[in-house]
Amino acid sequence: MIILDKLTKRFGPKILFENVSMQFDPGKRYGITGANGAGKSTLIKMLAGADDSDTGSISMPGNTRLGVLSQNHFEYDEQRILDAVLMGNKRLWEAMTEKDRLYEGEMTDEVGMRLGELEGIVADENGYTAESEASELLVGLGLPPNRHADRMNSLPSGYKLRVLIAQVLFGKPDVLLLDEPTNHLDLESIRWLEKFLIGYRGTLVVISHDRHFLNSVATHVADIDYQTITVYTGNYQEFVETKYENKQRADAANSSAKKKIGELQEFVQRFGSHASKSKQAQSRLKQIEKLEDAVQATGGKRSSLVRPYVRFDFEKPSGRDVLRAEGLAKAFGDNVIFKNLNVNINRGDRIAVTGANGVGKSVLLKMLVGANTNIDRETRGYTLSPDAGEARWGHDTSVGYFAQDHHEALGETAKGQTAYEWLYSFDTTKPQETIRAILGRLLFQGEAALKPTEALSGGEAARLLLGKLVLGAHNVLILDEPTNHLDIESIEGLLDGLEAFKGTVVFVSHDRHFVAKLATRVIELRRDPEGKPGEECEVTDFNGTYEEFLERKGVDYTRR
């Protein structure tokens, strides 16, 4: 059990939590929700002991095993992948390391005694099956056995995250703290992680912007809003319904109270000066004070949860044939991505490109965008050309591209510019009011529009890049992981905009709710992890929704 007692945390003048008392119970799985900047990651850091509260305390039993997902992806670069996982059990790893060191030195009676103690620790911690357990975790997260002896620095960042997840799970903690564990995981790895966490028997506290993940895993939701933390029973969907119903009731009660306050104030104004009515007037003043306190308690604080308004409009539609790609080939040394890829895209398609990390999804998008001659200079800097084959864009196509690396996509020219200046630079013929309106709808109101681009958070950078797409009025959108770093409300705002969009969308996302709601066609790239070097990935082009695609594959998927 974790107990928060009168907890308060501020950042400068901003209050995150104020006088919060609550508890996280054993055997329950808590999803932490709240807007970007509400304090979700700060709460995780305080629970882990990496950050202090201003006032109040956090307590848990002294023998609690705490598992925390590391945010430093480079910390274990010199370690074998398998060893990095074994380090998740600190007591076992230290015993194994000391044992190996002692065996290399001179054997004495004292050393023999110590080795006996260490063997006991290894046995207590199931050390003799540790490597097979660690290997099983890695395989479940998509790392084949032939990579387990490699060093961590041989892995791309997405796969390092998988190893760090395996590390924290291997420690068998009583309390598991996970901050965005699904970021950079492919859809199959997310499904595996869900199943593992559903079987976890300790206390889970997890932050995620993946709505489907929270629906699958969470038994409770701890919502950070109105400078407090409120716990709801149920998964994310049930939380949303309950919070909406509570707000409707509070709004109705406030409306009734305000109406009553108006009536009472009218009586006081009319009769407050009359001696015969003065006692009644004083009584009504007390009623007004109580009603105003009730209104303040239920509706006086402003919610931090705000949904951006995203709409993509264009003046002229593209032709029916949006893109024709024939015989595309791309390789990086011995790593063959495609040899003879053919892709046809039609007007109105909403295509989800899926597959494991590293299989070539971003490469495909960059090659398609690179074939367009009318993209801006920033986009041109990180597109790719095929080694062979050709991609031809159709008549009247205007292509907008959203890059996976948000700060890279802002470009070198963004340094020293405010959010407003950066967006305005893409179309200086537009009235300043138009730029301000776009920024405002994307939650850059007032002074927020003057924030330097290099100081933007991940979510802010993503919303600014969406503003560039809105300004460009493209009829084709190519989106590489647009939901990364966005909170759930921002994802829903983007989803609303894309569902209303009348043009063509090709996108990569590991958010299954987003994919399931948006895709009308699925292109899956799949590579055999045990395949021979030089083998290209297998491509499946499925004309249907993501749910239908998974059903065809025999995958159990339930929309929540």
Nearest 10 degrees: Cα torsion 391, 397, 403, 409:
110
Nearest to 175 by CA among 88, 67, 86: 67
Instruction: Give the pLDDT of residue 559.
Output: 36
Distances (CA, A) of 220 to 17, 137, 181, 214, 433: 19, 26, 18, 9, 43
- Asked whether the beta carbons of 21 and 2 are under 8 A apart, the reply is no
Taking the C-alpha atoms of residue 356 and residue 354, their distance in angstroms, rounded to an integer, is 7
Edge to edge, what strands does the sheet with 14-24 contain? 14-24, 2-11, 55-59
CATH 3.40.50.300 residue spans of the chain: 321-553
Instruction: Specify which residues 68 forms β-bridges with.
Output: 177
* Phi, psi (rounded to 5 degrees) for 407: -70, -35
Q: Is the CA virtual torsion 437, 442, 446, 450 positive or negative?
A: negative
- Asked whether the beta carbons of 248 and 550 are under 8 A apart, the reply is no
Contacts of residue 451, Cβ cutoff 8 Å, sequence gap at least 6: 418, 419, 444, 460
> What is the assigned CATH class of domain 321-553?
alpha beta
Taking the C-alpha atoms of residue 221 and residue 246, their distance in angstroms, rounded to an integer, is 15
Q: What single letter denotes the amino acid at residue 345?
A: I
Instruction: Give the pLDDT of residue 530.
Output: 59
Instruction: Give the pLDDT of residue 299.
Output: 56
Taking the C-alpha atoms of residue 411 and residue 408, their distance in angstroms, rounded to an integer, is 5
Give the tens place of pLDDT for each residue, 77-107: 899 999 999 999 988 999 999 988 888 888 8
Taking each helix axis from N to C end, the angle separating 236-271 and 278-299, rounded to the nearest 10 degrees, works out to 160
Label each residue of 426-444 as H, E or C. Answer: CCCCCCHHHHHHHHHHCCC
Taking the C-alpha atoms of residue 355 and residue 183, their distance in angstroms, rounded to an integer, is 15
Distances (CA, A) of 416 to 112, 453, 460: 64, 7, 16
How do the residues of the chain divide into helix, strand and coil, expressed in percent and rounded to 5? 45, 20, 35
Which residue has 């020293």 as its token pair? 416
Distances (CA, A) of 42 to 119, 380, 550: 39, 37, 37
Nearest to 40 by CA among 223, 305, 304, 234: 223
Structure token pair of residue 445: 């109101």
Nearest to 189 by CA among 545, 512, 534, 559: 512
Taking the C-alpha atoms of residue 42 and residue 29, their distance in angstroms, rounded to an integer, is 19
Instruction: Give the pLDDT of residue 499.
Output: 96
Structure token pair of residue 221: 């939701």
Structure token pair of residue 182: 């699904």
Q: Cβ of 357: how many Cβ atoms within 10 Å?
A: 20
Give the tens place of pLDDT for each residue, 132-165: 999 999 998 888 898 899 999 888 777 888 898 8
Structure token pair of residue 473: 């009025």
Q: What single letter denotes the amino acid at residue 405?
A: D
* Residue ranges in the chain modelled with pLDDT below 50: 557-560
Which residue has 């931090």 as its token pair? 304
Taking the C-alpha atoms of residue 241 and residue 405, their distance in angstroms, rounded to an integer, is 34
Structure token pair of residue 157: 């960042």
